[in-house]
Chain A
Amino acid sequence: MSVPRGAVHAKWIVGKVIGTKMQKTAKVRVTRLVLDPYLLKFFNKRKTYFAHDPLQQCVVGDIVLLKALPERRSKHVKHELAEIVFKVGNVIDPITGKPCAGTRFLENLSDSENLTEADTTYLSEKLQELKVCQTDK
């Protein structure tokens, strides 16, 4: 078989989701580094691909791995969602497996070690106030 998989040149692709307004389809922007022949510098060249997303689990801003479909699903959709690499707002560091944001791990924030005594008393007061409000209602 001359074309076992992918009627498209690009078999696997990593891109960022731009739009999810279509039903079960995600619009993904893919950037490749292209050499400018005169400046001899690499610039990002963008291209948008449409990907089939049956469970509609993509949000705008996710980094996503697309896989080429064996044949075209519709006029523009030639890829499907293989895996969400980084979910926006919920990035998991693949080396340690912990959630992180920017250059800090998110786990540590919930530890009470960083909170001073004043903080804990303040927080507990606030909680009591809330409980009182709730009982009033």
Chain B
Amino acid sequence: GRFPVRRTLQYLSQGDVVFKSSVKVMTVNYNTAGELSEGARKFVFFNIPQIQYKNPWVQIMLFRNMTPSPFLRFYLDNGEQVLVDVEDKTNKEITEHVKKILGKSKETLEKEERERKKLSHPATFGPKKYHLRECMCEIEGQVPCPAFVPLPKEMRGKYKAAMKNEA
């Protein structure tokens, strides 16, 4: 496509608009022609994938050429509707505005990150899904894995057992 960057995971995870849990639906009305709607078009093209990636449970609907003026509409859990006029704004301004009104602040995001980190202990070993490392041999400075480098004689169970039998 035109800007294949939009389809990389790195770009998607760079989106910083995380909605509060009360936002359920986001509706974007914009026009495919006209300068007023230019910012809205850029917003839909570049920023909506980022937002949807960060908020997979928010329903996003796009409507084209229904009304002469472009706008965003958010439907919250308590029945409230937030109308955001987007006419004559650049796409960065729109994201900043949306982040300010309905996005989680940096402190809450950091708090959540810390909570998530607390759940998993980084010093344990096990399957990749739950732990960082699988075996002590992966760490530099520790005894390397005997699959790649044979252990010295003194550490091998065969030798130790032979010594014991002798003595």
Interface residues of A (CB under 8 A from B): 10-14, 30-33, 35, 39-42, 63, 65, 67, 82, 85-86, 91, 93-96, 100, 102-105
Contact = CB atoms under 8 A, between A and B. Distances in A.
Interface residues of B, number: 32
B71 A94 contact: yes
Nearest to B25: A14
Contacts of A30: 59
Interface of B: 7-9, 12, 24-25, 27, 31, 33-34, 48-49, 52-53, 56, 59-61, 63, 65-69, 71, 73, 75, 77, 79, 83, 85, 87
Name the prevailing secondary structure of the A interface residues.
strand
B27 to A, nearest CB: 6
B31 A103 contact: yes
24 contacts: A11-B77, A12-B75, A12-B77, A13-B25, A14-B27, A14-B75, A32-B60, A33-B48, A40-B7, A42-B48, A42-B49, A82-B79, A86-B63, A93-B67, A93-B68, A94-B73, A95-B67, A95-B71, A95-B85, A100-B68, A102-B65, A103-B31, A103-B34, A103-B67
